[in-house]
Chain A
């Protein structure tokens, strides 16, 4: 197991190298330059030349790539062209926000998706099964940004039940030692702050969680339907085990294997889906950060941010692989 983990971690090196080349090539293939974006109407040819020189954008692409690899290897992502702040310190603020949102969305997806899938499987072919199919199809086919806008319009603008933007009520005075606002509020025992932060999470989490919710519901249904027809389930039932115990120990546990794969993949997708959700709710996470960087042609932020997300994606998948072993002791890694 340890060897497997080490090998997978070592594999990160070529993956990152590949991703870095792709990201670098892609970012530089974007039409336009950051200098034009920065200067707008004030971009006289002389000023553009001067800025290009200052930002090193007049060097050849391989030279720029090498400079980028060198700074990145030293643990630095450079300085944002738009905000003039270090990419690393912006990342430290943005990443916890997105993780918090992704976790909240996943909680929504699991809490609703798994029971929905199980119920559908239990009533295979019945009206409840069809109803769950409709719900999941809606979840998969509704674009996240549209759902986000609808949720926001109904629950924030029209009903006024929930806030429409941000992570926290700005009139609240508090500290953010970890930048995980939920955790910060818990650590500091500020229950009113916790309450406010959770309220800000509800709508974005519902919007972002809609797709994984639907996928998880469908996969759970299929897995449970498969497993409940297995011989060992029939045997368990035949020997008189209580149905609830059969469900938990024999059906759900075995059905969890495909479900956990989907959870892992969906967690990665949540990070990309966050771009739309964060834009609609002005949620200051990785998504809105990268969106701004694309508009501003902010190369250091794009390169650093995407590379970082690639690492996270790979690590999440590693965790999923490890979790297989936990759910299914027969799987052995060597």
Chain B
């Protein structure tokens, strides 16, 4: 018994010492020999893998963007394509042949030279993926852009866009496609198509993977411990749920990174991330929620950085259900939605009014589309002229339990829209469902009434990633299959000449907003990041692939 009491006393003493001592001084924080310096950056979760070919989420891309580079890149802060590992390119053969002049003297982090053979190795690697690697969970972006593989193992896979790659000398790679494709070039800036070291891919068994319990998982060590690219940072370690460590690549071909080291850590909870920034445990963070913006702005040590808007929130219509099968009713709804007030009231000054289904930063956007400024009287006139008896009843759906970057407060958006529609000759019947998983499924299958609130965030810098996703072919969501629009969008995809593509997408946007009106876009929101004031040189990318190379902080 004596011993037990002693033990208890020891515990008590230990706990008390802990509490007292640990609160004694902040100067002790992290004291010790085993410390390294560098910027600590927080996202919301761990990467899934570090083999960019298998990745489709922003948290993974955040890390791989620092390690890997593609043939082309996006100019910081924009979606404009600029040279990266290819210095120039030429399109010929009716849009099917792309000749890339490669940057000379570039080496992968393992010393393997970057050349035309490496480019062809990467393209052929994707094209020859088989078994587990053809799982949509493994190669989502490859399938989105390139359709299928050399040997498709599922009937749901499309015919492949890629045909072949030829190395002409060490520094020219010629890619041949099966059909002309406009999004091909901008999509090469996606991390999914970044160049990886052929030596490391083979050595660390990058292509072995399993489907276990139905879930795709790489079994080699490449995707977890040996990602090898040409980028300004080298992979230095990954402790799951704790951190990914990147170190400066001192052999980088371009301007070297200013920071010697970057640590990227996952902090899932939004407010915990902001608090960690306030305490100085992290230096910068992504995914600042609109409600936390004032907290950061009111802190003299912190600042807010804006991410250029690359999303759209819209009120979608179902064209197969009366009364929204009538274009005049849709126009009346468009005039009856007080979009400007919603943008002003519920986006905390962090959004602009949308007039079409793609963000203005992207080519193909045009100011010449039909605009529908809030006008309840005009809405009623249109309805009466079309022979409708007022009020016209509409089923209007909105999601609950969700805040999306493009739609921070769906319920209040819905309430405001309902009120403005009620003034415009409509009788709104409200319906709601939890965002996950019911609401999205209902919207996608066309079961969310006449009207619904929804939106989209872009993945890469091509209008096909907006207009093509929404309106090409059969769309149960909008209850439409518009042949002229599909033909126009398909033509725009296959057109190799950028100027002509711009014109085609502008034409599509005008057609969509005037002749079809499958919905009314209302907001392009501006997502926010937060960092300490002494973090400089940070430019946020519209698609979230921010470069850490030009960033410095606290004199580093």
Interface residues of A (CB under 8 A from B): 31-33, 35-38, 40-41, 43-48, 50-51, 54-57, 67, 71, 78-81, 83-86, 90, 93-94, 107-108, 110-112, 114-115, 152-153, 155-157, 159-174, 176, 190-193, 195-196, 198-199, 201-202, 206, 248-249, 252-253, 256, 279-282, 284, 288, 292, 295, 297, 300
Instruction: Report Cα–Cα, A110/B16, bound state, in Å.
Output: 12
Asked if B30 contacts A79 (CB within 8 A), the reply is: no
Asked if B242 contacts A284 (CB within 8 A), the reply is: yes
Do A111 and B14 form a contact, CB below 8 Å, given A51-B137, A84-B48? Answer: yes
Do A84 and B216 form a contact, CB below 8 Å, given A51-B137, A160-B279, A193-B34? Answer: yes
Q: Which of A84, A282, A295, A297 contacts B267 (CB 8 A)?
A: A282
B385 close to A (CB within 8 Å): no
Which residue of the partner chain A has the closest CB to B5?
A248
Interface residues of B (CB under 8 A from A): 1-2, 4-5, 8, 11-16, 18-19, 22-26, 28-38, 40, 46, 48-49, 135-137, 154, 156, 211-217, 239-243, 263, 265, 267-269, 272, 275-276, 278-281, 434, 436-438, 440-441, 444-445, 454-457, 476
Which residue of the partner chain B has the closest CB to A163?
B281
Asked if B241 contacts A115 (CB within 8 A), the reply is: no
Asked if B476 contacts A45 (CB within 8 A), the reply is: yes
The 9 closest A-B pairs by CB, nearest first: A192-B32, A36-B437, A55-B214, A32-B437, A111-B12, A284-B241, A78-B213, A169-B30, A111-B15
Asked if A196 contacts B444 (CB within 8 A), the reply is: no
Do A107 and B15 form a contact, CB below 8 Å, given A31-B434, A282-B269, A300-B213? Answer: yes
Asked if B275 contacts A157 (CB within 8 A), the reply is: yes
Asked if B441 contacts A48 (CB within 8 A), the reply is: yes
CB distance from A272 to the nearest CB of B (A): 19
Asked if A43 contacts B11 (CB within 8 A), the reply is: no
Do A165 and B213 form a contact, CB below 8 Å, given A37-B436, A252-B1? Answer: no
Q: Which of B11, B136, B243, B276 contacts A164 (CB 8 A)?
A: B276
CB distance from B437 to the nearest CB of A (A): 3
Chain A residues with Cβ below 8 Å from B22 are: 161-162, 198-199, 202
Instruction: Report Cα–Cα, A9/B439, bound state, in Å.
Output: 46
Which secondary structure dominates chain A's binding surface?
helix
Instruction: Report Cα–Cα, A249/B455, bound state, in Å.
Output: 71
Given contacts A157-B278, A161-B22, 8 further A-B contacts (CB under 8 A): A43-B441, A57-B214, A86-B217, A115-B12, A156-B275, A160-B280, A166-B281, A171-B40
Q: Which of B38, B281, B445 contacts A165 (CB 8 A)?
A: B281
Asked if B437 contacts A33 (CB within 8 A), the reply is: yes
Which secondary structure dominates chain B's binding surface?
mixed
Asked if B279 contacts A111 (CB within 8 A), the reply is: no
Asked if B19 contacts A173 (CB within 8 A), the reply is: no
Q: Which of B1, B35, B281 contacts A172 (CB 8 A)?
A: B35
CB distance from B188 to the nearest CB of A (A): 21
Do A80 and B12 form a contact, CB below 8 Å, given A50-B156, A172-B32? Answer: no
Which residue of the partner chain A has the closest CB to B7?
A110
Asked if B29 contacts A163 (CB within 8 A), the reply is: yes
Q: Which of B25, B242, B457 contacts A167 (CB 8 A)?
A: B242
Chain B residues with Cβ below 8 Å from A79 are: 212-213, 215, 217
Of A90, A94, A166, chain B has the most CB atoms within 10 Å of the CB of: A166
Asked if B242 contacts A54 (CB within 8 A), the reply is: no
Chain A residues with Cβ below 8 Å from B211 are: 54
Q: Which of B34, B272, B275, B457 contacts A192 (CB 8 A)?
A: B34
Do A170 and B265 form a contact, CB below 8 Å, given A45-B476, A84-B49, A111-B8? Answer: yes
Which residue of the partner chain B has the closest CB to A299?
B213
CB distance from A218 to the nearest CB of B (A): 17
Chain B residues with Cβ below 8 Å from A248 are: 1-2, 5
Chain A residues with Cβ below 8 Å from B215 are: 54-55, 78-81, 84, 300
CB distance from A235 to the nearest CB of B (A): 17
Asked if A54 contacts B456 (CB within 8 A), the reply is: no
Chain B residues with Cβ below 8 Å from A115 are: 12
Asked if B240 contacts A93 (CB within 8 A), the reply is: yes
Chain B residues with Cβ below 8 Å from A108 are: 15
CB distance from B207 to the nearest CB of A (A): 16
Q: Which of A161, A190, A202, A297 contacts B18 (CB 8 A)?
A: A202
Chain A residues with Cβ below 8 Å from B457 are: 41
Asked if A41 contacts B456 (CB within 8 A), the reply is: yes
Q: Which of A40, A56, A161, A282 contacts B23 (CB 8 A)?
A: A161
Which residue of the partner chain A has the closest CB to B272?
A282
Chain B residues with Cβ below 8 Å from A56 are: 213-214
Chain A residues with Cβ below 8 Å from B281 are: 163-166, 169
Chain B residues with Cβ below 8 Å from A292 are: 268
Asked if A170 contacts B242 (CB within 8 A), the reply is: yes
Chain B residues with Cβ below 8 Å from A160 are: 26, 279-280
Which residue of the partner chain A has the closest CB to B441?
A36
CB distance from B401 to the nearest CB of A (A): 11
Asked if A46 contacts B34 (CB within 8 A), the reply is: no
Asked if B16 contacts A40 (CB within 8 A), the reply is: no
Instruction: Report Cα–Cα, A115/B8, bound state, in Å.
Output: 9
Chain A residues with Cβ below 8 Å from B26 are: 160-161
Q: Which of B1, B214, B445 contacts A249 (CB 8 A)?
A: B1
Do A46 and B156 form a contact, CB below 8 Å, given A37-B437, A165-B267, A300-B213? Answer: yes
Do A83 and B279 form a contact, CB below 8 Å, given A54-B135, A252-B5, A284-B241? Answer: no
Chain B residues with Cβ below 8 Å from A249 are: 1-2
Of B13, B154, B240, B263, chain A has the most CB atoms within 10 Å of the CB of: B240
Q: Which of A32, A94, A153, A170 contacts B40 (CB 8 A)?
A: A170
Instruction: Report Cα–Cα, A79/B46, bound state, in Å.
Output: 16
Instruction: Report Cα–Cα, A288/B44, bound state, in Å.
Output: 13
CB distance from A194 to the nearest CB of B (A): 9
